[in-house]
Amino acid sequence: MNWEEKYQTGQVFWNRGAPSPPMAHYLDQHPAHGRTLVPGCGHGHEVALAVKHGLDATGLDIAPSGVTAAHTLYPHLADRIVVGDLFNPAPAMRGAFDVVLEHTCMSGLHPSLRPSYRRGIDLTLRPGGVLIGVWFINPDLDPGDEGPPFPFSVPALTALFADGYKIVDDYVPAVSFNGREGRERVRVLRRLG
């Protein structure tokens, strides 16, 4: 998947132009604290959400044009939204985060890249930290369409984080973007120390 090309040609079909409603609801109900990473942040909406909730947030995205668009949308957050690869994070990001916010980074990745995603979380989230995910489990694909987004079952999510993480919250959210009702799952995992 050439993410940079997608941003350059404006094919950002995943972008809803606002923060994830289930993520906003979760953070309203469960205040989080500390250094926070938003991997695959795209236009930066969840970075803005995190900062609004008092988190010391950094957005990371592999596509420079996505990051440039995020800087234009959220100029006051420009220092916080950077180009980089979750699979090979900069030394300063390793073990540096108390919280990771997942929103449609994972579902954009081909299933073969899921172990790399898991490794990226392991490299950035400190032991004891929390991975707060709005996991896009069941995208509505056209017949014959494979993705992205790629369907991701709840058992596959469980298996991906079966070792080294403990589920601390898990539910189908009552709020969502139009068209994503019942397709997402809020699952929060604590990294074991």
Ligand X SMILES: C[S@@+](CC[C@H](N)C(=O)[O-])C[C@H]1O[C@@H](n2cnc3c(N)ncnc32)[C@H](O)[C@@H]1O
Residues of this chain that interact with ligand X (CB under 6 A) are 3, 14-15, 39-43, 60-63, 66, 85-87, 103-105, 108, 148
Residue nearest to ligand X (CB): 40
Residue 82 or 172: which CB sits closer to ligand X?
Answer: 82
Task: Compute the least distance from the CB of residue 112 to ligand X, in Å.
Answer: 13
Is residue 132 within 8 Å of 50, Cβ to Cβ? no
Nearer CB in complex with ligand X: 117/165: 117
Token pair listed for 13:
């079909």
In the complex with ligand X, the residue whose CB is nearer, 129 or 149, is 149
| Closest separation in Å from C-beta 111 to ligand X | 14
Note whether 26 and 56 are within 8 A (CB).
Answer: no
Residue with tokens 């942040």: 41
Q: Which long-range contacts (CB under 8 A, 24 or more apart) does 152-158 make?
A: 152/106, 152/107, 152/111, 154/185, 156/114, 157/185, 157/187
The least CB distance from residue 193 to ligand X, in Å, is: 25
Cβ proximity to ligand X: between 83 and 154 the closer is 83
For residue 152, the minimal CB distance to ligand X (Å) is 12
Give the pair of three-digit tokens for residue 2.
Answer: 């050439």
- Start-to-end Cα distance in the chain: 34
